[in-house]
Amino acid sequence: MKLISAASALLLAYLIWASRAWPLVHDAPLMHYVAWLIGEGGAPYRDAFDMNVPGVYLLHLAVLRVGGAGDGAWRFFDLGWLAAVGGLLWAYCRRMSDAVAAGAAAVLFGLYHLSGGAWRAGQRDFLLCLFLLAGAYGVARGLEQAGDRLTLFAGGLALGAGTMVKPHAGLYWLLCAAVTAVALRRAGRSAWSGVAVVLAGGLVVPALVLVWLSGRGGLAPFLAILTGYLLPLYSQVGRVSVIGATRWHAWGRTLFGLLSALGLLGLLTAARPWSPRLVLAALGVPYGVVHFVFQGKGWEYQLYPLALFLCALAPVAVSRGGARPSGAPARAVAMAAWALLVAVLGVKGVEAREPEWIAAKARRVSALTRDLGPLVPPGETVQVLDTTAGGVHALLRLGVRQPTRFIYDFHFFHHGDDPRIRALRAELLAGLAARPPAAVVVLEESWPALGYERLAAFPELARMLDGSFTLAVAGPGYRIHAKRRDP
């Protein structure tokens, strides 16, 4: 195992070095833009129509305040967060296995993250992993310390904070509370008091964040988006089957097949099968599956929690101290699977190091920023019709606001006959008429509808563009429609 660990560490060092120039790209600039609006006095949901929970914006706001909106600050943040998850994973696994195997688990998760490429840097599900693991660690430590209330509270605190990054973490929070109840009851202690501490800890951060959101004027719009758009409409858009989703994940089925085999071998050969750490890691696996399936979009980064908990189980299978003495054959199989998994992650990492689509998106952002800047006088606005193709990133670079709260355009191109979508369309048109922007930028890429022709499904907007704007620039993947200047 030491040889595999050394090779894994060298591969991790290589991937870290290869990722040093990764750009801020894909989803991250969108969250940066909302955070920038907040820093300018705006409120999420009221001034930016988005479906994420507010903790995401606060994390991005912290990055902007400390390091700015450049690529380097984002790269430093992503690697720092990865180091924090790796260190905590080592601490978590250390008691279930030996130091070498625990370290190998931390490296394995690092390889998993870096093999995904630049677009997965700082993804919300990756950020969530630190809170999930800190929560599991706190609860496990509390149970190991005879139900220590302060440690259990800290675990609940971390899990509650995680719900402000992805609300799905609430399910794992409840599972940790249930494990607390069972463990304390088995130890002859008061179960309900321990559960109450975990649950109370989990309420602290959401309460504070919601109080902050209310103070900024964003709570009512947040609830309106949640109940009037996110749950009834957005949750149904772009849904795919689990099998269909993993079909386009690079090396996805092989990777998770090997990870699952390691996790299963860890469970089957564990010397202490009912230890709190092992139980909480084991329950994290079905939670990770539900986390992926429930979202229904099939995006690769939504598998992070599942990968995290499988990595937590894996070192048990290869550790002499964590597995039963009779598990020697299984240990040999596990080490072979681990070596193969590292090889797969290495290949995947090399393939994802500098993909053309990331480079093309970075070039598009630079070109759009260059073309748009001269067309926008100081103090004027620009409306972007885009999802993740780089339009909002250009506005972030230029420090330009939009005349409406819509930072995406996909809301307008699904459920077109629903009165709630018609109301959003009317809000966009009214905002453009009341505060005519200097330009409207239409990106060719979008989601789920693609191409410039998607505007035909929104004829009122198409007519407004034809009547009040003129095509000023047709760039690579974007069109800039400048406001007509009457003589």
Model confidence over 105-118: pLDDT tens digits?
Answer: 999 999 999 999 99
Q: Is the pLDDT of residue 302 over 60?
A: yes
Question: Who wins on pLDDT, 289 or 271?
Answer: 289
Q: Which residues pair with 384 in a beta bridge?
A: 441
Question: Who wins on pLDDT, 323 or 14?
Answer: 14
Q: Are 443 and 478 in contact (CB under 8 A)?
A: yes
Q: Is the pLDDT of residue 328 over 80?
A: no
Task: Write down the pLDDT at residue 269.
Answer: 86
pLDDT digits (tens, 9 = 90+) for 148-199: 899 999 999 999 999 999 999 999 999 999 999 999 998 888 888 899 999 9
Binned at pLDDT 50, 70 and 90, residue 487 comes out as: low
SS3 383: strand
Q: Are 92 and 133 in contact (CB under 8 A)?
A: yes
Task: Write down the pLDDT at residue 272.
Answer: 82
| Core vs surface per residue 65-80: b (16+ CB within 10 A) or e | eeeebebebbbebbbe
Q: For residue 142, which amino acid is it?
A: G
E strand or H helix at 294: helix 276-295
Domain boundaries along the sequence of the chain: 2-351, 356-483
**Mean pLDDT for the chain?**
94
Q: How buried is 267 (Cβ within 10 angstroms: 0-12 exposed, 13-18 middle, 19+ buried)?
A: middle
pTM comes to: 0.95
Q: Are 396 and 32 in contact (CB under 8 A)?
A: yes
Q: Is the pLDDT of residue 326 over 70?
A: no
Q: Which residues pair with 475 in a beta bridge?
A: 478
Q: Is the pLDDT of residue 485 over 90?
A: no
Task: Write down the pLDDT at residue 242.
Answer: 79
Binned at pLDDT 50, 70 and 90, residue 244 comes out as: confident
Binned at pLDDT 50, 70 and 90, residue 324 comes out as: low
DSSP 15-55: HHHHTTTPPP-TTHHHHHHHHHHHHTT--TTTSSB--S-HH
Q: Are 81 and 122 in contact (CB under 8 A)?
A: yes
pLDDT digits (tens, 9 = 90+) for 441-455: 999 988 887 899 999
Look up residue 57 and give its two tokens: 């914006």
| Core vs surface per residue 151-169: b (16+ CB within 10 A) or e | bbbbbbbbbbbbbbbbebb
How do strand 439-443 and strand 469-475 relate by DSSP bridges? Answer: unpaired
Q: Is the pLDDT of residue 313 over 60?
A: yes
Stretch 360-385: mean pLDDT, rounded?
A: 96
Q: Are 246 and 434 in contact (CB under 8 A)?
A: no
